[in-house]
Amino acid sequence: MYLCAVQHRPPNIYAQEREDRELTEALKRGDESAMQRIFYRHYPDLSAAAGRIFTDQDTRNELAQEVLCDLWQKRERLDIRGSLSAYLRRAVINRALNKIKAEKRFIAESDAPEPSEWPEKERERIAEQEGLEQRLHTAMEALPEKCRTVFVLSRFERLSHKEIAEQLGISVKTIENQITKALKMLRTALRNHAPLWIPPLLLILANQNIGERPFAFVYQIVI
């Protein structure tokens, strides 16, 4: 029996927020270098947030660019309540939602339902992945689009079922079904992962300062 540690980094949220506030103040004064710092700090996260919904690379980068350009254009009139990262995150998700609505991806509930079992090709692709994380990530990206979008809005963007239903124009019951389906498919995708995977009892965040950045270990007990 051995302990296998998988690295997982949560950011130190509140220190970052303080710096963001200072950067925002500088940005309001038209400080370009502040904009650059903000860009370098937030672009990856915004691209990732959009990327969970739009797997296409160009789309996700485009949305991130638009949000940051918009921030720059509005810099003098900025009035941000709460954290900058939350503000930007909300902005990119709003744009993503508008895009979904514009492309009418979700309108017809009577559309042919998306598969709730993994098609052969996807199953193989997932099984090829060796590491647990890789397998999980491949599976998430391979989820049927509607299903993945709903799951992402709930799990990552923390929208309530009601909010998701309103935004996408579908019923709360459908939302719940989609999330259930996502969990079922993810569970299937990970089921035959070898070695036998006994899930960690809880996510243990062990703060061990390497340099100045705290990071966390997820302990998996592998027999």
Partner 1 sequence: MILPEKIYLELIAKALVGEISEADRQTLREWTEASPENQAIREEIEAIWNQAESWTPRPGISIDAAWDEFRRRADLPAPVAHNPRPMRFIRMLLRAAAAIAVLACVLWWILPGSGAEAWQVAEARDRHEQVSLPDGSEIWLRKGAALSYPRNFAASSREVQLLRGEAYFEVAPRPEQPFVVRTSRKGERVEVLGTSFQVSASEKNTLVLVRTGRVRFSAPGMSQAIELTTGDRVAVPRDHPQAALRTRVENFNELAWRLGAIEFQQTPLQQALATLSDYFEIELRLDNPALAQCPCSMRMNTPGLARALDNLKEIYGLTATPLDTDKGYLLSGGACPK
Residue 127 vs 132, nearer CB to partner 1? 132
SS3 letters across 97-130? HHHHHHCCCCCCCCCCCCCCCCCHHHHHHHHHCC
- Residues near 146 by Cβ (< 8 Å), separated by ≥ 6? 105, 106, 114, 178
Round the CA-based radius of gyration of the chain to a whole number and report it: 20
Binding region for partner 1 (CB under 8 A) out of 31-39, 96-104, 105-113, 117-125:
31-39
Rounded to 10°, the helix 13-28/32-53 angle is 130
Continuous segment of H or E residues that includes residue 214: none
107 vs 137, which CB is nearer to partner 1? 137
HSE at residue 73, side-chain half, CA atoms within 13 A, is 6
* Nearer residue to partner 1 within complex by CB, 51 or 144: 51
Window of 93-101, 107-115, 121-129, 173-181 that interacts with partner 1 by CB under 8 A:
173-181
**136 binds partner 1 per the rule CB under 8 A:** yes
- Interface ranges with partner 1 (CB under 8 A): 8, 14, 28-32, 35-36, 39-40, 43-44, 47-48, 51-52, 55, 57, 60-61, 64-65, 68-69, 72-73, 76-77, 79, 81-82, 86, 132-133, 136-137, 140-141, 154-156, 158, 160-161, 176-177, 179-180, 183-184, 186-187, 190, 199-207, 216, 218
